[in-house]
Structure 1
Amino acid sequence: MRADRTKQKNKWLRITGIIVLLLAVSLGAYLFTVYKSLTSAVETMQEPIERETRPIKFDNREPFTVLMLGVDEREGDRGRSDTIIALTVNPEKNSIKMLSIPRDTRTEIVGRGTEDKINHAYAFGGVEMSMDTVENFLDIPIDYYLKMNMEGFQEIVDAVGGITVNNDLEFTEGSFHFAKGNIELNGREALAYVRMRKQDPEGDFGRQKRQRQIIQGIIKKGASVGSLTKFDDIFAALGNNVKTNISFEDMVDIQSNYKSAAGNIEQMRIESAGTTIGGIYYGVVSSEEQQRVQNELKTHLGI
């Protein structure tokens, strides 16, 4: 009798062992597929630039900067960087500062020798001229860039299955009406949501706030368990619409050594006065305001 019980127990142990093994193999295959899809997307996102930057030692948790550009890019047209955000990351201070620079800000366009709207730097000289111009304007080193095609918001939002944002301004843009409060957005709605500017009393600042809401919504939804089955579409959409000079190895190091800073993002704002020069509208930043912002960013970077 005891022998029968032992035989039955061994049988169930074998069955359980086979099930565990099959699950492990399936999970391993799934993770390998995810990894392959991710590395493929990152390779597509890679777009090196011809510009000297500081060598950052991520293992030593050194502070660094990223220039985020939101570009309306269409076939045959490089477009302009309608969203310009400078990020300073300091893991020792456990924080990230995020400065939105209004696209109409008047400044020297480095490489052109003229003063113009800061978003024209991208139209004149692409990512490199944008980095040089923002670096000169803020008087801090710009180490990396991350460029998103604003048209790509639609594809990325649809890839994660739509997002939720908290809208504080009721408005209509095109054929879409956006009520106040928490609203669900698909890709086409998200694109209209971030493009509205003229009805917003905050102008560019309001538009940039909505763009950040969409980005945060994508991150939140993309990280959810329900999005695991959509990883292929999500990575493909990112690969199609995001370009950066941050390597895959650096991304891994940043995730490992800087992730605690991501929980403490401080929004910064630079004030400007609207002025018309030669019949063209500009946002003019006073030297005092420019110095204030520069000092705050330098302090955060420890330079």
Structure 2
Amino acid sequence: MLKRSEYKKKKGLKKRWVIIPVVVVLTLLLGTGVYGYSLLSKAKDTVNTKMHEPIESIDLTKTKKKVKASEPLNVLLLGVDARGADKGRSDALMVLSLDPQNDAMQIVSIPRDTRTMIAGKGFQDKINHAYAFGGADMSVATVEDFLDIDLDYYVRLNMEGLQELVDEIGPITVQNNIAWKDGKYDFPKGDVTMDGAKTMSYVRMRKQDPAGDFGRTERQRNVIEAIVDTGATAGSVTKIHNMIDILGNNMSTNMDFDDMKKMFSGYKNTRKHMNSYMMQGQGTKIDGIYYMNVADDEIAKVHDMLKR
């Protein structure tokens, strides 16, 4: 296994993925929990041939033992919104912790501007730059070092895939905390029901939010929870066929189909108690570049959350 401290950048063209790292696996497995026999072959082929992408920085042998024993798992959710001049940095990162003993799920958001040591590079930079330097492999290694935790899986999803997914299972409804308009859509305070295109505007807005990137990350978590809840309804079961196609074209993960089946068996109830947290920090500029400095006690607090 590639050790975090010994990480070396892998060669080759990196795919460009989105940042709303939706809990896609939960939508299919932990949410619906139903696979008709006619879908088994299609789902297995799609996962193993189109979505499965192992990385060196995660020891799957160790992870599989944890899944078999239904031990707590940590999953890195990430991706890239590849619009315009975006070179492939992950727009945000989240760590999803699944605790089957307590039927609980914790989502921790890491601000994309967080300043930390980039694994294998020997210098500090924004944590979201790790993806640009070395894809999911370097992102995993960097987050593991930053929080002093082990990550068991990663999931990344293309932005267009998120929009297609919402349109397939949706519409979704979120509790919106601030009112704004973007010229095309109206987002009043309170419950807002959205299709895929409106969801994209909802999660991308930042300048009109007094909380800036923190507010946008909160909306990302709102969307994740709404997709999980909507995907768990009985009416979504009949849509699994199309969902598999959408995920196969837009999602990448180091889980294989057997991993997913075992996760459903041992982790399906973790969605009963879902909590979310945004890491806190202090904004600063270094050589004219904005960074988020996260204090050691905040890092220790999040480390304990995920280890607990």
Q: TM-score, normalised by structure 1?
A: 0.82
Distance, in Å, in 1 between the alignment partners of 2:52 and 2:100 is: 25
> Structure 2: which amino acid aligns with 1:47?
E
Deviation, structure 1 residue 65: 1.1
Larger Rg: 1
Deviation, structure 1 residue 161: 4.1
CA contact (8 A) 1:222 1:234 kept: no
Cα 1:225–1:93 change in 2 (3 A) is: closer
Tell me the residue number matched to 1:46.
52
CA contact (8 A) 1:108 1:133 kept: yes
Tell me the residue number matched to 1:20.
none
Q: Which of 133, 137, 143 is the aligned partner of 1:134?
A: 143
**Structure 1 residue 32 corresponds to structure 2 residue 41:** no
| 1:84-140 residue CA offsets vs partner (Å, 9 max, x unmatched) | 011222322432322110001000011111111100100111000000100000001
Deviation, structure 1 residue 261: 2.3
Distance, in Å, in 1 between the alignment partners of 2:271 and 2:105 is: 7
For structure 1, the 5+ residue unaligned runs are: 1-29
Higher relative contact order (CA 8 A, sep 6+): 2
Distance, in Å, in 1 between the alignment partners of 2:227 and 2:155 is: 16
Distance, in Å, in 1 between the alignment partners of 2:136 and 2:75 is: 12
Q: How large is the RMSD of aligned CA atoms in angstroms?
A: 2.2
In the TM superposition, what are the counterparts of 1:245-260 in structure 2 within 5 Å? 245-260=254-269
Question: Residue 271 of structure 1: SS of its match in structure 2?
Answer: coil
Cα 1:42–1:174 change in 2 (3 A) is: farther
| 1:164-196 residue CA offsets vs partner (Å, 9 max, x unmatched) | 222221112352221222222111111111101
> Structure 2: which amino acid aligns with 1:287?
D
> Between the two proteins, what is the percent identity of the paired residues?
46
**Structure 1 residue 112 corresponds to structure 2 residue 121:** yes
Which structure has the highest helix share of the two?
A: 1
> Structure 2: which amino acid aligns with 1:294?
H
Q: How many residues align?
A: 270
Distance, in Å, in 1 between the alignment partners of 2:192 and 2:58 is: 43
Tell me the residue number matched to 1:238.
247
Deviation, structure 1 residue 74: 5.6
> Structure 1: which amino acid aligns with 2:180?
F
For structure 2, the 5+ residue unaligned runs are: 1-34
In the TM superposition, what are the counterparts of 1:202-241 in structure 2 within 5 Å? 202-241=211-250
Question: Residue 110 of structure 1: SS of its match in structure 2?
Answer: coil
CA contact (8 A) 2:80 2:158 kept: yes
Q: Which of 145, 151, 154 is the aligned partner of 1:145?
A: 154
Tell me the residue number matched to 1:121.
130
> Structure 1: which amino acid aligns with 2:56?
E
Tell me the residue number matched to 1:16.
none
